[in-house]
Structure 1
Amino acid sequence: MTQDSPTLALPRMRQEPAPEHITVPAPRRGRIPALDGLRLLAALMVVAYHYLARGEGWSASGQAMFPTAFPFAAYGWLGVELFFLISGFVICMSCWGRSVGDFFTSRVTRLYPAYWFAVLATTAVLLLIPGGQKPLPWPDVLTNLTMLQEPLGVRMVDGVYWTLFAELRFYLLFALVAW
């Protein structure tokens, strides 16, 4: 540069002293589409198992009615195992960077409201539609709302909820590991 050429002066940035404690919220993790696809696959496997392999809801056996689909549907029970595998992965992800209290609160608020709705809706349907299965007595329904009916020896409002108590136990176990 020559002396005659203009110089470009950049403004000086004023430096602020850094605060002692900076709290940066953890980035919110999005859903993983592949896991959603695997969840769908697992759900379809369980449905196929119950309706095609076990023949629930049909007068004849599933093997006789669906000879082509039966060999695949017979392994649909593995869908439950796939659900548990996915849940284990998602539970680990949901605990990452959180305190044990935050982790447990997030799991309880995710699980219980939908579960309460399902238990009460099932009970209401059983009350309102005559001729089918009788609803459980109210003390048993209230026990079901705690999700502790299995260890307390109380009948389930709906048998398909058995997996939720298994998941709840895993949450407790994982909270201990994270702690």
Structure 2
Amino acid sequence: MTPAPLSQPTSNRLLAGHMPQLDSLRTLAVLLVVVYHWFPTGQGINRLPNGTIGVMVFFVISGFLITRILLGNRDRIRAGKATLGHTYRNFFIRRVLRIFPLYYLVITFVYVFLPQASDIRAQPAYYYLYGYNILLHKTGNWADLLSPFWTLGVEEQLYLIWPWVVLLMPPHRFRAVIIGMIGIGVLFRGYGYWNGDFDGVLTPASFDAFGLGALWAWYTTERPTAIPQFRHLLSGAAAVSLVLLIGLLTLLPGDHIAVVLCQRLLISIIALWFVVGASLGFSGPGGSLLNNGILQYIGRISYGIYVFHMLVPGYAVPLLLRILNRLGIHLSPGFWAHRLISLAVLLVLASASWYLFEKPINGLKRYFSYGDRKPSAQPG
């Protein structure tokens, strides 16, 4: 992939609005998560830590976009064009509108109809208060149907704290805070390692991924003239990280301290290289791939794919096959055919969720814009 040259003021370009190549990165990230959960671990296409890679890509993208939004609003507050309370209220409401409705719909469905597949009946508060990652840390029950939702708990917990850090921190100290955040992520996983925790599902264990995304947001808003130098350094760091990651994966067991400490960091640095390039716009063959309309569409519905993907192969597809059987269509798909059917069902379900449920609710964001207090037609 070839990063596009900076042919116009970078800060203006990055703050202009939607970055479609990031949607394609979301597609790749969510498909890696699906592969991790749908295929035998350590075999075939699931030999890599696909789940970790996909989640770290999501976290880096989230750290970049959320921090970018907050830094822009921090400047508006400092200029007297907005208040701290108004900004935080609208930020949180917009996150609620995007994340909460589908999340609560799915966990309530599991609570009512599939309680045997989850710990939700025994510990509902952890799920309904976005603390499931804390429960998973305690139980280690990765067989829970809702186990991927630990990442949503991490993000929501971060949304409670990070806006205040960004909006209140003196600008000249903010980069140091980001660097400290990255360090805390590594150190916290070290602390967990010494206490027998290799999963790293508590929020501080993912600080380095979020922090790296936030660092790119800081450069785009605060130091746009230093972006060429940053990209040069990042390219070298990503190349070294790739070599080290290959070494970790091939030479060391998954519970080795070097893997626990460094694997996520190395993946996040590589992910940041892709996020930086996609936010600016890759050119060449890689850019053509990321500009593909199908990939970008799947990225737009990636939240639904993530939320539904554990339900589809074990519950939705068997239900579909039973319905077809009653209609006289008898199918007995093998493993690969079953996965292809599951993928088709997942894409249809996520699309229906987006157009019939998520998008209409998401449209309410126009009443909570960061600009004027009156309703506006601003997207996002």
TM range (shorter): 0.5 to 0.7
Q: How far does the alpha carbon of each residue in 1:4-60 deviate from its partner, in whole angstroms, 9 at most, with x for none?
A: xxxxxxxxxxxxxxxxxxxxxxxx975321111000000111222333451xxxxxx
Higher helix share: 2
Partner of residue 111 from structure 2, selected from 123, 127, 131 = 123
Q: What corresponds to 2:35 in structure 1?
A: 48
**Residue 171 to residue 91, structure 1, CA distance change in 2 (3 Å):** same
Written as runs of structure 1 = structure 2, the 5 A alignment for 1:47-66 is 47-52=34-39, 54=41, 63=43, 66=44
**Residue 37 to residue 150, structure 1, CA distance change in 2 (3 Å):** closer
Q: What corresponds to 1:94 in structure 2?
A: 69
Q: What corresponds to 1:36 in structure 2?
A: 23
SS of residue matched to 1:39 = helix
Distance 1:148 1:84 in 2: 17
The reply to whether residue 85 of structure 1 matches residue 60 of structure 2 is yes
Residue ranges of structure 2 left out of the alignment (5+ in a row)? 1-14, 74-81, 169-380
| 8 Å contact from structure 1 (residues 144, 157) kept in 2 | no
SS of residue matched to 2:117 = coil
Q: What corresponds to 1:137 in structure 2?
A: 121
Mean alpha-carbon deviation: is it higher for 30-39 or for 146-155?
Answer: 146-155
Q: What corresponds to 2:91 in structure 1?
A: 103
Distance 1:170 1:136 in 2: 22
Q: What corresponds to 2:48 in structure 1?
A: 74
**Residue 37 to residue 134, structure 1, CA distance change in 2 (3 Å):** closer
Identity of aligned residues (%): 30
Q: Residue 45 of structure 1 aligns to which amino acid in structure 2?
A: L
Q: How far does the alpha carbon of each residue in 1:119-153 deviate from its partner, in whole angstroms, 9 at most, with x for none?
A: 112223315xxxx6366437x33542121344476
Number of residue pairs aligned between Structure 1 and Structure 2: 134
Distance 1:122 1:53 in 2: 24
**Residue 126 to residue 146, structure 1, CA distance change in 2 (3 Å):** same
Q: How far does the alpha carbon of each residue in 1:71-117 deviate from its partner, in whole angstroms, 9 at most, with x for none?
A: xx514131110010011112123333272222122222322112111
**Residue 137 to residue 123, structure 1, CA distance change in 2 (3 Å):** closer
| 8 Å contact from structure 2 (residues 111, 120) kept in 1 | yes
Quick one: higher RCO (CA 8 Å, sep 6+), 1 or 2? 2
Q: TM-score, normalised by structure 1?
A: 0.60
| 8 Å contact from structure 1 (residues 100, 175) kept in 2 | yes
Q: Residue 22 of structure 2 aligns to which amino acid in structure 1?
A: L
SS of residue matched to 1:74 = coil
**Residue 142 to residue 41, structure 1, CA distance change in 2 (3 Å):** same
Q: TM-score, normalised by structure 2?
A: 0.31
The reply to whether residue 160 of structure 1 matches residue 160 of structure 2 is no
SS of residue matched to 1:87 = helix
| 8 Å contact from structure 1 (residues 46, 80) kept in 2 | yes
Distance 1:165 1:74 in 2: 25
Distance 2:34 2:55 in 1: 10
**Residue 116 to residue 82, structure 1, CA distance change in 2 (3 Å):** same
Distance 2:17 2:49 in 1: 31
SS of residue matched to 2:99 = helix
Distance 1:35 1:134 in 2: 32
Distance 2:109 2:58 in 1: 24
